[in-house]
Amino acid sequence: MNKFYHILKTLFLFSWSLFVVFPFLWALTTSFKDANAITSGATYIPWVDYEPSTQGWTSLFTTGSQGINIVGPFIDSAAVTLIASLVSLLLGTLAAYGLSRFEYRLGFVKNADITFFFISQRIMPPIVLAIPFFLMLKELGALDTIFGLVLVYVALLLPIAVWVMTDFFAGIPKELDEMAMTDGCSPIGAFFRVILPNSVPGLVVAGMFCLIFGWNDFFFAFTLTFTETQLLPVSIVSLNSSVTPWWSLSAFALISVAPLACVAVIVERYMSRGTMSGAIR
Amino acid sequence: MLQVDQLTTADPKVSLQDISFQFDAGNIYTILGQTGAGKTELLRALIGLDPLVEGDIKLDGQSIAKRPVKDRSMSLVYQQFINYPHLSVLDNVAFPLRRQGKKKADAQSLAAKMLTVVGLGDYLQRRPAQLSGGQQQRVALARAMVKKSRILMLDEPLANLDYKLREQLREEFPRLVTGNDDSVILYTTTEPREAMELGNTMIIMTDGRIVACGPPADLFANPPTKDAASVISDPPISFISGFVRSGALYFGEGQLAPNNGLHLPMDGPVTIALRPDAIEPGGAFNATIGLSEFSGSETIVHLDFDFGRAIMLVEGIETFEVGSHMSVSIKAEHIMLFSSDGQNITTRIK
Amino acid sequence: MTPTSTFGVNTMLSSKHFFLLPALLTLIAIIVFPLLFTIRVSFSSWDVFQSGLDYIGGKNYGRVLEDERFWQSLGRLSLLSSISVCLQYTLGFALALAVWKQVRGGRVLRVLFLIPMMTTPVVMSVIWRTVFHESLGPANDILGMFGFGAVPWLSSATGAFISVLIVEVWQWTPFMFLLLLAGLVSLPREPYLAAAIDGAGTLRTFWQVTFPLMAPITIGALIIRLIEASKIMDTVYVLTSGGPGTATETSSYYIYIRGLRDFQIGYSAALSLVYLVIMIVSLTVIAKLLLRLLVGKVG
């Protein structure tokens, strides 16, 4: 019986791993093909099945009509994601700390309600906000700018930061802040000098979620930018609709998912330590 | 120096009830009370961590009730060993000095000195988490003392330590915790022995109120109320209902003749308090042995009388068989009497 | 998350606003105002020909009620999200259990299993589109190796639906895996000792110990995924463009077409609000049901 379980488990893990890596491997091998290799049907192994070429990769770094420039969108994507994540993390951490340490009251609205208000924003489908965002950014003259996107992404990411950090602060003893105050800090000073330096694990988890949701967003980038500002997901989709060869598409895709795939390593570390469990309930 | 007027708080668990007190400079006050008596709440209210519903706090005649925590010149050592996890031991102790605006080098050298005093001179660069509980509490102590604040508060600083460390640190405390003529030390504890050893004035609290205060020895010998007697006695004191009639004290089947060093009140019901020192082997009272345990070089014997249970101490290690009978005497010169409303009405004949 | 009592006096009052207000005001400015604006717009006839805020009463909402395409998209969305979330949950839990106590190679497997959720859905959809290509893609090629005929992945209604399902499962099973494994890691040990002493087998231990203990996380994970799944449109947009016909058109995508492609601003605002309300109501009901089903049974 035990043996049977073991075989079943191994088989399951093996086939799932295969399923997970398959699209990446396919993209990798496709990125080294040329027109001949593509049109002769699905092939997998370079040199055996087809003669590899590097044009898929070189085209990404050549500008002009021959090439697809990936550098611009990459920088834009990185800028928008990083700035929005930082702003959300800052505002969200402050708010979460406030909610975990002070009592707020506005009529019948109390701390739990405010926390819920923040977190519940995740339920909002992007499409509900797309049109007013569009009109709002147009009024601000921020359509098709990094600034405009950052503004929108902060709304998207702030709930995540508040959510993760509220739970994190609930686990830091209140006595630590109090001690800082008896040692001569103001409440704000206590937060920056003592609580913040001790919040690194929470900040990392919250920051990663912000990066993931920011970097991977497509819809807002798609509806709120056109030519000046181009994020990676939008540019790959516009390539997709044109007659772009698969080799460039594949290389492009691999480059744009690579940075966050690395984040998986960090996420795994925190998950195994159990640091994340508090952030989930 | 520190004056408290009608302090009242509204904590959901234990709230302070109308506390007024005058703390004088140069003294060490031990605040004795059971868990939930309001000791911690009193400290927190004084330092400004809990809001006051009513009352005022004055330092040198000036009201500080509305001052922020950081401007009250008070420091607090918590029962839990709380230090700044992200700072080294040295920087932990230097932290309050830096907040006072001292230069980094000055702060660190003062901190290092203080750490040497508490015996951690070799651990300056460690993180608090790398130290034992006792060492962590020493760090906290050093951090609280290095500030030279006017009021140093220690909230059951030994409560969470292992027995051995607790004994060791308690022995060192009088050397470590030294104020100056201009400062006050407040030390809370649940242990009478600790309270009596460390302070020169003892305050007894129950239910968010101060019920007694005075020199420890006086309070122990002559607790003003039943509550105070109960808090200050360890091993526990036994209270027995009895009555006085025509010059004799009756309780259970037994009675005590007068003129045994005790002056009896008027006829009527009284509560008789028996401490271990009031009972001796051999005498007119019969008891059953309920339990016998060793404590250091003494044997603690729990005795069941017809009027209730009381405790007797016997020098040296002796084995008493549970369930066997023994006769003891109750010494009138060591019992205390309380009126039905809990006031101490013992008067001794000189 | 329980708020602690104010730990200080007066200075606290001013500084507590320092912490909360920036985020609160930002969120109100960026989300509440646009939402209010959307509500106003939904009562106007704003479109390509006539822009601006007139007032036409509830006409748009009347039109929503009769819009079969919208209600069909909603039905499709419910089907798609419930099937995909169930699959993700089952697979994610199975994976989490499988690597939970795996020592050798466990780390590598965990990292590997997390990677898909880190990747951009649209970018991966672009790749999946080539995978599902009927004559040039590997999906049919591999099926052919096992002797199956070519499947019209993206050109038939069922094929397209299944393709979207596969991509969704690939992308988001890792999220379930993450939450559930994190939950497993932090489970207490004692119940397992007790079960072992009672001589409970693997299956019985799972149903009587692990599953009940995981109930709160299960509910949380299912709700979070349902919320996210009900917003799905990126993948659909790239993979099938809602097609063939309207076979894979989800509500978000349909509203997008009406609003930002046909530019019927007023009408799409009404659509999106109806969609939002339906989502909130049904997710609340589902959450309540799950709570009763899973926690009620345990307690």
pLDDT score, position B259: 60
Burial of C253 (0-12, 13-18, 19+ CB in 10 A): buried
Give the domain-ending residue among B225, B247, B269. B225
Whether pLDDT at A225 is above 50: yes
Q: Is residue B232 part of a domain?
A: no
Whether pLDDT at B164 is above 60: yes
Q: Is residue A82 very low, low, confident or very high in pLDDT (cuts 50, 70, 90)?
A: very high
Domain C70-298 has CATH 1.10.3720.10: yes
Which chains would you list as touching B if contact means 3+ CB atom pairs under 8 Å? Answer: A, C
- Range of the structural domain that residue B79 is part of: 2-225
pLDDT score, position C10: 47
What residues in A contact B78, CB-CB < 8 Å? 175, 179
| C155–chain A nearest CA distance, Å | 17
What residues in B contact A198, CB-CB < 8 Å? 84-86
pLDDT score, position C12: 53
Q: Is residue A253 part of a domain?
A: no
- Mean pLDDT computed over B147-170: 85
B184 and B108 part of one domain:
yes
Domain count, chain B: 2
B155 and B273 part of one domain:
no
Q: Are B59 and B73 in contact (CB under 8 A)?
A: yes
Domain ranges of chain C: 70-298
Tell which wins on pLDDT, C102 or B299. Answer: B299
pLDDT score, position A24: 93
DSSP string, chain A: -HHHHHHHHHHHHHHHHHHHHHHHHHHHHHHT--HHHHHT----SBTTTB----HHHHGGG--SSS----HHHHHHHHHHHHHHHHHHHHHHHHHHHHHHHS--EETTEEHHHHHHHHHHGGGS-HHHHHHHHHHHHHHHT-TTSHHHHHHHHHHHHHHHHHHHHHHHHHTS-HHHHHHHHHTT--HHHHIIIIIGGG-HHHHHHHHHHHHHHHHT--HHHHHH--SSS--HHHHHHHHHHTT--HHHHHHHHHHHHHHHHHHHHHHHHHHHHTTTGGGT-
Q: Do A173 and B80 touch (CB under 8 A)?
A: yes
Q: Are B328 and B285 in contact (CB under 8 A)?
A: yes
Q: Is residue B170 very low, low, confident or very high in pLDDT (cuts 50, 70, 90)?
A: confident
| A49–chain C nearest CA distance, Å | 13
Q: Is residue B95 part of a domain?
A: yes
Whether pLDDT at A202 is above 50: yes
Among chain A residues, the shortest Cα distance to B68 is held by A186
pLDDT score, position C195: 86
Residues in chain A: 281
| Cβ burial B118-140 (10 Å sphere, 16+ → b, else e) | bebeebbebbbeebeebbbbbbb
pLDDT score, position B333: 80
The CATH number of the domain holding residue A207 is: 1.10.3720.10
| Tokens found for residue B252 | 């259970």
- CA atoms of B39 and B114, how far apart (whole Å): 27
- CA atoms of A257 and A23, how far apart (whole Å): 12
What residues in B contact C11, CB-CB < 8 Å? 68-69
| B152–chain A nearest CA distance, Å | 11
Q: Which of A230-234, A259-263, C86-90 is most confident? A: C86-90
pLDDT score, position C13: 55
**CA-based torsion, A112, A115, A116, A117: positive or negative:** positive
B140 and B258 part of one domain:
no
Q: Is residue A164 part of a domain?
A: yes
How are beta strands B184-189 and B151-155 bridged, if at all? parallel
Q: Do C15 and A188 touch (CB under 8 A)?
A: yes
Whether pLDDT at A91 is above 90: yes
Q: Do C8 and B65 touch (CB under 8 A)?
A: no
What residues in A contact C140, CB-CB < 8 Å? 42
What residues in B contact A181, CB-CB < 8 Å? 49, 68-70
Q: What is the pLDDT of residues B259-291, one digit of tens each?
A: 667 778 888 888 888 888 888 888 888 888 888
Q: Do A182 and B80 touch (CB under 8 A)?
A: no
Q: Do C170 and A19 touch (CB under 8 A)?
A: yes
The total of other beta-carbon atoms located within 10 Å of residue B254's CB is 16
B209 and B105 part of one domain:
yes
Domain count, chain A: 1
The CATH number of the domain holding residue B338 is: 2.40.50.140
pLDDT score, position A193: 93
- Mean pLDDT computed over C103-113: 83
Q: Is residue B230 part of a domain?
A: no
pLDDT score, position B179: 65
Among chain C residues, the shortest Cα distance to A240 is held by C126
Whether pLDDT at C7 is above 60: no
| B57–chain C nearest CA distance, Å | 13
Among chain C residues, the shortest Cα distance to A1 is held by C202
pLDDT score, position A238: 81
Task: Confirm or reject contact between A188 and chain B (CB < 8 A).
Answer: no
Q: Is residue C2 very low, low, confident or very high in pLDDT (cuts 50, 70, 90)?
A: very low
What residues in C contact A235, CB-CB < 8 Å? none
Closest partner CB to A112 (pick from C1, C7, C255):
C1
Mean pLDDT of chain B: 86
Q: Is residue B322 part of a domain?
A: yes
Q: What is the pLDDT of residues B80-130, one digit of tens each?
A: 888 999 999 999 999 999 999 999 999 999 999 999 988 888 999 999 988
pLDDT score, position B31: 92
What residues in B contact A186, CB-CB < 8 Å? 68, 70
| A184–chain C nearest CA distance, Å | 13
Closest partner CB to A182 (pick from B74, B84, B86):
B74
Q: Do A240 and C129 touch (CB under 8 A)?
A: yes
Closest partner CB to A271 (pick from C116, C181, C272):
C181
| C210–chain A nearest CA distance, Å | 15
Which chains would you list as touching A if contact means 3+ CB atom pairs under 8 Å? Answer: B, C
Task: Confirm or reject contact between A172 and chain B (CB < 8 A).
Answer: no
Q: Is residue A105 part of a domain?
A: yes
| C53–chain B nearest CA distance, Å | 52
Mean pLDDT of chain C: 86
Q: Do A182 and B47 touch (CB under 8 A)?
A: yes
Q: Are B243 and B268 in contact (CB under 8 A)?
A: yes
Q: Is residue B231 part of a domain?
A: no
What residues in C contact A155, CB-CB < 8 Å? 26-27, 30-31
**What share of chain C has pLDDT > 70, as a percent?**
94
Tell which wins on pLDDT, C49 or A190. Answer: A190
| B312–chain C nearest CA distance, Å | 42
Whether pLDDT at A179 is above 70: yes
Q: Which of A76-80, B33-37, C46-50, C190-194 is most confident? A: A76-80
pLDDT score, position B350: 64
What residues in B contact A176, CB-CB < 8 Å? 82, 84
What residues in C contact A122, CB-CB < 8 Å? 224, 227-228
What residues in B contact A179, CB-CB < 8 Å? 76, 78, 82, 84
Task: Confirm or reject contact between A186 and chain B (CB < 8 A).
Answer: yes
- Mean pLDDT computed over A154-182: 90
Whether pLDDT at A273 is above 80: no
pLDDT score, position B106: 93
Among chain B residues, the shortest Cα distance to A181 is held by B70
Q: Do C11 and B68 touch (CB under 8 A)?
A: yes
pLDDT score, position C164: 94
Q: Is residue B280 part of a domain?
A: yes
Q: Is residue A142 very low, low, confident or very high in pLDDT (cuts 50, 70, 90)?
A: confident
> What residues of chain B have any CB closer than 8 angstroms to a CB in chain A?
47, 49, 68-70, 74-76, 78, 80, 82, 84-86, 95-96, 99-100, 143, 147
B166 and B305 part of one domain:
no
B207 and B292 part of one domain:
no
Q: Is residue C77 very low, low, confident or very high in pLDDT (cuts 50, 70, 90)?
A: very high
B67 and B206 part of one domain:
yes
Which chains would you list as touching C if contact means 3+ CB atom pairs under 8 Å? Answer: A, B
B169 and B288 part of one domain:
no
Q: Is residue C88 very low, low, confident or very high in pLDDT (cuts 50, 70, 90)?
A: very high
Q: Is residue B166 part of a domain?
A: yes
Tell which wins on pLDDT, B350 or C59. Answer: C59
Q: Do A183 and B85 touch (CB under 8 A)?
A: no
Contacts of B141 (CB under 8 A, 6+ apart): B77, B118, B154, B157, B176, B177
Whether pLDDT at A67 is above 70: no
pLDDT score, position A243: 60
Q: Is residue A218 part of a domain?
A: yes
Closest partner CB to A30 (pick from C121, C130, C224):
C130
| C122–chain A nearest CA distance, Å | 6
Q: Do A178 and B69 touch (CB under 8 A)?
A: yes
Q: Is residue B71 part of a domain?
A: yes
Rg (CA), chain A: 24
- Mean pLDDT computed over B212-229: 88
- Range of the structural domain that residue A136 is part of: 71-244+260-279
B165 and B97 part of one domain:
yes
Cis peptide bond N-terminal to A201, omega within 30? no
